[in-house]
Amino acid sequence: MKTISTYLSAVVLLLTMALLSGCEGEKDLIIIDELLPIKTSTLFMVGDATPAGWNINEPTPLAVTEEDPMTFVYEGELNKGEFKLCIQAGNWGNPFIRPAVDKTEITKLGLAEATFVMYAGDPDNKWSVAEAAIYRLTFNLRNWTMKADYVADIPEAPKTPIETETLYLIGDATPGGWDQASATPLTVAADNKYLFSCEVSLKADGAFKAFMVMDDTWSQDFMHPAEDPCTITKDGVSDPNFKCYKGGADTQWKIEDAGKYRITMDLKAYTLKAEYLGEYEEPQPEEPENPKDQEPIETNTLFILGDATPNGWSQDAALSFTVDANNKYLFTCKAALKAGAFKAFMVMDKDFSQEFFHPLTDNCQITKEGVADPNFKCYKGGDDWKWQVVDEGTYLITFDLEHYTIKAQYLAPIETSALYILGDATPYGWSLASCVSLTQDAENKYRFSTTVDLAVGEMKACLLNEDNNWGQPFIHPTVADCAISKSGVANPDFNFYAGDPDNKWKVTEAGKYTLVFDLQSYTLQVTVAE
């Protein structure tokens, strides 16, 4: 018993000392100021210097070494360009491994024991490969260092002559911009199927590359300059060599001197020649087609979208037009437009590959005075010209799909102290001397209302009720025969003008209704009176 008692006392003493030691340790925080190893089984490179380019879904992998599971190596070609590293593919929001100093250069002289950091977001530091070559990159995830060793020059691959019947230039230096459908075609030589040339005006500070097939995608082979930057001046091209590949570094020919050039591409020697021919010539727009020679556009739907519209460039939220009951080619829409651009389309296909309505010149202005040029074209691809809203405000936009014209009427708030309705649907018929008066809202001078018995028939509204003054402006619905029933009004929008078209509201169900006209938003609200 004495032995057991002694043993228990020793245990209690040890437990007490441990508790005291733990309490004492809590007073002093242990701070680890060393970098913790990055534990991962995968590591990737992404960037235009790497074989996979900026494809985050299939970046270039590094291999873990047999000697150390925390050391990863890549040995292979690096293009002139930039790169950074990630431990997971498919997400730009994840943390990236980056150089501690942005644009840390990798050259054939190598890079020894450079530190790196790891974080998400900005600053977006990247390594910069200054000389294309075969390198061995070693990343130590234990001590957060990397090194780059030059291995060899990239062997020049044998050049197989490129077989194609078509070749095009594309880029913001060219007249057609980055639209494939408007790319500049080159013509094959009569005596050499590998020699293509064209004469083209090229803009300064722009760029271009070349492609062979109009496929409406960017996944095909493109022809790129072999060196970056590669410039074109009046003296010619800085490096005549090019490469042809899919993906990879998106190098382009840069234009330093604007002008008209003859571009010649040799698809056997893989070279490009640029001959300066003279001053830059602004491309002339095509002559507008005569609307009488164009077939009317058949559609049941019409929409506009753009940053001038309330919902921007979203097709799902594009503003819809209403077709006129008496003219299937006349479409109208009342919209509050901001300073900005818009274009029109007929079918929601979500990929912007459908036909669009465009003005005949880019940035065709819409102001309070109307649209600068009423004519438009309808086409797929080509020049992506848009209407440009200069004066913000509410507009009534009308497209005539038979004559290929657009009308933009600025709807200024209607100033008046009196408003009336008349017509055979109203109690007093078509008499201007005794039409129905509406009441002006005490808190909103643009809001007028009345509760009235309406018969089956037609009506419109006016500001004056002077007998026989039919030459004054009237308030009309934006579409003819706009129905009023116990379900409300078919289209709330109205317009204010004198003359034709003499659109009217058409009451299809007799009853007592409350009518509310808003002379600022140009809308009519109709409800059944209780």
The three-state DSSP-derived secondary structure of 323-359 is EECCEEEEEEEEEEECCEEEEEECCCCCCCCCCEEEE
Give the percent of the chain with pLDDT over 90.
Answer: 71
What single string gives the DSSP state of each residue in 36-79? PP---S--EEESTTSTTTT-TTSPEE-EE-SS-TTEEEEEEEE-
> 407 has which bridge partners?
398
Q: Which of 18-32, 205-219, 280-294, 387-401 has the lowest mean pLDDT?
A: 18-32
Is residue 11 within a helix (H) or strand (E), and if so which, with residue range?
helix 2-26
State the Cα–Cα distance between residues 290 and 322, nearest whole angstrom: 26
Q: What's the pLDDT at 380?
A: 86
pLDDT digits (tens, 9 = 90+) for 470-515: 889 999 998 889 999 999 999 999 999 888 889 999 999 999 999 9
Is residue 440 within a helix (H) or strand (E), and if so which, with residue range?
strand 439-440
Backbone torsions φ then ψ of 480, nearest 5 degrees: -70, 150
Determine the 3-state secondary structure of 7 from DSSP.
helix
Most confident of 151-165, 280-294, 442-456, 462-476: 442-456
State the Cα–Cα distance between residues 367 and 293, nearest whole angstrom: 29
What integer is the mean pLDDT of 103-111? Answer: 95
Answer yes or no: are the C-beta atoms of 50 and 106 closer than 8 Å: no
pLDDT higher than threshold 50 for residue 120:
yes
- DSSP character at residue 493: B
Mean of per-residue pLDDT scores for the chain: 89
Give the predicted TM-score (pTM) of the model: 0.43
pLDDT higher than threshold 50 for residue 24:
no
Q: How far is CA 34 from CA 109, 119, 144, 181, in A?
A: 30, 17, 11, 57
pLDDT higher than threshold 90 for residue 47:
yes
Domains of the chain and any CATH numbers: 44-152 (2.60.40.3620), 168-278 (2.60.40.3620), 291-410 (2.60.40.3620), 420-528 (2.60.40.3620)
pLDDT band at 17 (very low <50, low <70, confident <90, very high): very low
pLDDT higher than threshold 80 for residue 351:
no
